[in-house]
Structure 1
């Protein structure tokens, strides 16, 4: 039941987060980037706080320990606030697909951070192989050729910073060992994320007067605020509690596929051969990392039974640990 629940949470989170890159790219035509993030958190805060108040008792919503406070700050500042600020600013310089893939470095960074901060989530040898494949894939996507360094290179670095912030936030949430539910913790954390991004927006000289209000702008804001905001945050942070930071962040390997399809269908974006190759390499890294939970030996035994399991009827059986040898276990 836990596995099915985790899978359902992962699929919902991946689809909703994947759509974020498409909606962000579309919405940046009408909003300054940091103000777009701040307004997104305003909308998400209203929706999530209303949901939390309706579904939780007052006692369940009240922070009681230092771990609760640490989890709230990790959620609001790193996992939500700074990660999305860097994502939306960097998304100005990259397509939806490239943005999702570079931000998909999150699952590669998470095991590295978890190895130093979480005793129960260490990287195995197989994990190191998956990590290496993921890094190669991201390098292909970023395309470190000097000719392209200044053509969107800054945006890719910002996206990388967002991925690092999100990975750090998810590990710190796990480390905090909060007594609050994921919904309550996120409802408290979102206002911190909103405050941070509003301050960053003001410091960058952005203003509401620069917003071009239109039906498309409202649709983009509604999606990133409610669906990819309130709803996706509920499923994502619950997934961290259920599956752990390392496995939860594997959803960011799926979001590029969603973003690529969405960018192609809705924004007319194209994907280069190099980007596609990078995506496949990153997915290979995901497959290696995800396979750590699979007992390969037992799986092979099911697929290809041993000789002892397929012996012909009437063949002698050797009972190790005793001196009796016979067809039925007797010494006749």
Structure 2
């Protein structure tokens, strides 16, 4: 495994674990914050932290956007990938559990290649990818259990969460389409204030008030987690992964997120995990395995193995060419 591959794997795991914890922290924090104001404050904290980090670690000349592509990438990050996505997540999660919210958001990897097919020329879904995505859809259906009772109970929340998943997928594709010369960290640092502003405006429009916040130790802990860990740190890992791996592969991380969210919700919030949800997890994992296997070029691996066998055969000394002086008497 190359250094770049190891870094991508670390970024994948860090993103999945921290994003998965978001659903648990959000569910806990919503007991103390109005949802849209919670998201806005989250971005306030993350923006300060990430802007400070970028200023300390990036040369000044590389901090300033210079092209329309840079500006488009910043707006795609702030408005779609971060702002609307999280606003819809926090509002929708008022109506459902951490695990179900994370599962609905796991539609992100399924939606991304559909959007990429229309907006990106260098990312396409193969037949194997279609099979993997189909398994993912089946897994989501098992977990969400879309029967009439399910739609009547929490159906509005699931629709809101689905719209958030669409926004996240669209944002990641638009970032790749925009290109630009800014690093992922700098682009995200610029995008966070736009996301914060958008959520503050949505909060005001929804009639939320800061007086409704209950400033308890649990509220501070939830805000610190979603702002610093699942905010600044996770965004550095995720958007860096997006630049190196592409929108389709980077968003496979959302298959890991529901597992983390379900386990965290069970361990910390006392939420239950149904038998259908477990079956859904296994089905989604099967889809993830199919999609992940696409990154392994079996023909190339076979040719490489065949080449090694050939090289070893060439290294074998032909008895007829054995050097004189080593013959047995």
Q: TM-score when scaled to structure 2?
A: 0.91
Give how far 1:74 is off. Answer: 0.2
Spell out the pairing of 1:1-332 with structure 2 (5 A cutoff). 1-297=3-299
Distance in 2, matches of 1:23 and 1:233, equals 16
Paired residue for 1:320? none
Cα distance, 1:124–1:148 mapped onto 2, change above 3 Å: same
RMSD: 2.0
Give how far 1:97 is off. Answer: 1.0
Distance in 1, matches of 2:300 and 2:244, equals 25
Distance in 1, matches of 2:320 and 2:127, equals 45
Give how far 1:281 is off. Answer: 1.2
Distance in 2, matches of 1:300 and 1:159, equals 43
Distance in 2, matches of 1:28 and 1:181, equals 33
Distance in 1, matches of 2:304 and 2:4, equals 23
Distance in 1, matches of 2:230 and 2:62, equals 25
SS of corresponding position for 1:269: coil
Deviations 1:148-177 (A, max 9, x none): 212011111111111111111001101111
Distance in 1, matches of 2:147 and 2:301, equals 43
Give how far 1:295 is off. Answer: 2.1
SS of corresponding position for 1:293: coil
Count of residue pairs the alignment pairs up: 312
Distance in 2, matches of 1:133 and 1:302, equals 31
- Which of 188-197 and 126-135 deviates more? 126-135
Give how far 1:296 is off. Answer: 2.8
Distance in 2, matches of 1:142 and 1:328, equals 71
Q: TM-score when scaled to structure 1?
A: 0.90
Q: Tell me if structure 1 keeps the 8 A contact 2:103–2:144.
A: no
Give how far 1:257 is off. Answer: 1.1
Distance in 1, matches of 2:32 and 2:150, equals 27
Paired residue for 1:314? none
Distance in 2, matches of 1:155 and 1:114, equals 26
Paired residue for 2:324? none
Give how far 1:275 is off. Answer: 1.4
Paired residue for 1:316? none
Distance in 1, matches of 2:117 and 2:260, equals 29
Give how far 1:215 is off. Answer: 0.2
SS of corresponding position for 2:32: coil
Unaligned runs of 5+ in 1: 310-325
Cα distance, 1:302–1:178 mapped onto 2, change above 3 Å: closer
